Amino acid sequence: MTQTSTIAIPPSTERVVSDSTRSEVRGIWLPLVTPFKDGALDEVSLKRLLRHVSGRPVDGLVIAATTGEGPMLDEREMERIAAIAADEIGDLLPIYLGVSGSDTRKVAQQLHRIAHWPVAGYLIACPHYVRPSQEGLYRHFSVLAEAAERPVLIYNIPYRTGVNLANDTLLRLAEIPTIIGIKDCCADPAQSLDLIRRKPPGFAVMCGEDAQFHVALAQGADGGILASAHVETERFATIHAAHRDDGDTRTALKHWHDLSDLPRLLFAEPSPAPVKYWLYRQGLIDSPEVRLPLTQVTPALAERIDREIGRWSGTVRAA
């Protein structure tokens, strides 16, 4: 006997996402780190970091995603992070929650379970390890968009998940009103450019490759979800403004030349350890801890980061 799926796949949806919701996905978004201290969620540092971010030119936040060590958080911790972020940020910025999983049913059930959390939308990664077909990816995200009842950004990062969401599949998904954009980490410049050329009006393409941010903007991306923008946030925002608001590509390139070594430094070892170390040395979080299987930066990289902090800001907390 042939088994069929018990998950309903909607051919369409009646939900309407407002133009203002779509237009807010642009500019500089931070995939916020999750501070830990002595193995536990460090709420004091999280609040301090959020207050710092609220005073910077940031257009949105993603919490509990890859940079936020989402796979190493339990649901209670994720809920607490969402509550603290909502309390500290209020209506200043849209807050999206990172969601991932390979079992469509379980992720849909999670979305129903957390529907009351104070977040504006979700960043949902492609299912990892199982490597579904393009039709499987289409059905997976169709079901999750129906379950989410909030705007969804898709996260395509094949070098982590083992599967690449093809542009043809993504453009089918873009017809679903609640799927409003993508964090693009496909690592294929031709695919990224093709997507930017073909994307429908109101569908956001957000660069997720920090080192490719300038190129992505030059090609027409709407902004970036960038771990490196925890550091020198204003410079990233200036580059975006020069491209998208002023059309001044010469100024944007000048600022990018000054900034382009920073992402390479902050991804020299597995993220988010280098970013966390930088924030710790600036006094924004109380510990550079990460959770296993991630490890803290090596002494050699710590020394390099200390030198760069001194060069950029001149402020390094005592070791």
Annotated binding site for pyruvate: 67, 225
Of the residues 122, 155, 277, 280, which is catalytic? 155
Q: How far is CA 209 from CA 189, 190, 214, in A?
A: 11, 14, 10
CA-based nearest residue to 284, from 260, 255, 313:
313
Distances (CA, A) of 117 to 13, 32, 62, 82, 107: 22, 17, 14, 7, 15
Instruction: Provide the 3-class DSSP secondary structure of residue 312.
Output: helix
Q: Which residues are annotated as a binding site?
A: 67, 225
Tell me the helix, strand and coil percentages in the chain, rounded to 5: 45, 15, 40
Question: How many whole angstroms separate alpha carbon 248 and alpha carbon 77?
Answer: 43
Write phi, then psi, for 68 (nearest 5 degrees).
Answer: -85, 10
Amino acid 57 reads P
Would you state the structure tokens that stand for residue 240, as one six-digit string?
A: 């975006």
Whether the Cβ atoms of residue 225 and residue 207 lie closer than 8 Å to each other: yes
Distance, in Å, from the CA atom of 262 to the CA atom of 276, rounded to the nearest integer, reads 14
Place of tokens 């499987």: 136
Determine whether 129 is an active site residue: no
CA distance 179 to 144: 10
Of 96, 122, 138, 183, the active-site residue reads 183
User: Is the alpha carbon torsion for 247, 21, 236, 197 positive or negative?
Assistant: negative
Is 307:68 a contact under the CB 8 Å cutoff? no
245: tokens are 């608001």
* Contact status, residue 70 vs residue 64, Cβ threshold 8 Å: yes
Q: Is 199 labeled as catalytic in the residue annotation?
A: no
Catalytic residues: 155, 183
